[in-house]
Amino acid sequence: MVSQNNGKKRAVVTGIGVVSPNGIGVDQFTRNLRAGISGIDYIHSFDTSALQVRFAAHLERFDVNSVMDPRDLRRVGRLVPLALAACREAMAMAGLAIDPAAIEESQQTGVLLGTGGGGLGFIEPQYKAYFTGEGKYSPFTVPAGTHGNISSELSIALGLRGFSHVVSNGCASSTDAIGYAAMHIQRGDIPMILVGGADAPITEGILKGFELMRILASPTEPVTQSSRPFSLNRNGFVLGEGAWFFLLEDADHAAARGAKVLAEIRGWGSTCDAYHRVAPAPDGAQCARAISLAMQEAGIGPRDVDYVNLHGTGTQLNDTLETAAIHMALGPRAGEIPASATKSMIGHPQGACGAAGVAATILSLRAGFIHPTINLMEPDPQCDLNYVPHAAADSRGAQWAICNCIAFGSKNSALAVRVEPEK
């Protein structure tokens, strides 16, 4: 195994964990990606009568009590048990069991995650209780409401004493977290990092806020068809939740302990349009530059790219500018390369979406398929890529992928990933 990449250590993925609206656990998530199964449904966990949008890509049937002690659940935001379940699966897949009593060993693994809303889901009912007098106001409102608390909870639960950090950069949060984690591995700062994304933004207040921005998809029947990236009749995204995590490891360290390599994070590019606090720049130039920077660091060009995992939210502007950006970054081959939108099945899990796309990319390519973009009934003429509509396609040995993200605040982030085929 070659340990260096342009003079740097190699950052490889040895474990993956998934808690997704369309599949809990790696196996179910992979099967449902291939089958094009949607995780979107009506919300039943709270009263939605005051809302226009009453559906989401959510995990109402996920048993958080199986992950954490009910007493602890009252002290943390909902995304913590989602993230913890995904972390445990990633560590198990990687064959990593760390004894918290082994101080030196536990210091060799860091925690780094991306989230958009962080603890907002915990804060909302606390403020409601305080201002209305209905219910009890929690003494854990401040710690549970901060983003940094999330990585602390994971480190404590798993006994990991390496660094414990959170990236909150809108929808690019977990893409950037993976990029930063790869950088730490490549520099030799630490041999292992548990990295990914988690968000749980499905609350009355957050849904209402997105409603007022007029960027949520309007209802369809069935609601599973509400997320329609790149379709002519698309009209917004579907809010989602979930957690997707990876054990990222120095390749030499992985080889020494006999861990199976699933993929490698080879390049990362991050840019800003410097354009608007919410809307991305419509020309897509900086989005294209982020993709080019990721390819440049990976040492690849457009002819090497086998697949693109798209941000693909289903909003009018986002889908057209992303299509334009792919053309700019990948040139004449852009229309040939399979490119699909995971959000057509899982909605938009905000800061966790980048990690979701990376997990979908690695798992599908290793299993020999390109997952579809579902609900693409009538393509927008301005969106002319090969979106793999309706049904999965044979990946034909695809190995090099670009995973793209576009975020509020004019931010763009992309990863170049090399996937190891299943043997």
Q: Which residues are catalytic?
A: 171, 311, 348
CA angle 391, 242, 88 (to 5 degrees): 110
Q: Which of 117, 218, 109 minimizes the C-alpha distance to 165? A: 109
Residues pairing with 248 in the sheet: 13, 193
Please tell me whether residue 299 adopts helix, strand or coil conformation: coil
Q: Count of CB atoms within 10 A of residue 277's CB?
A: 7
Cβ burial 352-388 (10 Å sphere, 16+ → b, else e): bbbbbbbbbbbbbbbbebbbbbbbbeeebeebebbbb
133's tokens: 């007098």
Query: By the 8 A CB rule, do 218 and 236 touch?
Result: yes
Residue type, 229: P
Residues recorded for the chain: 423
CA 280 to the chain's CA centroid = 19
d(C-alpha 99, C-alpha 82), whole Å:
22
Phi-psi region of 383 (alpha: psi -120 to 50; beta: other; left: phi over 0): beta
275's CB contacts (< 8 A; 6+ apart) are 281, 410
Query: By the 8 A CB rule, do 422 and 301 touch?
Result: no
What is the dihedral angle through the alpha carbons of 308, 314, 318, 321, rounded to the nearest 10 degrees?
A: 60
| Rg over CA atoms, the chain | 20
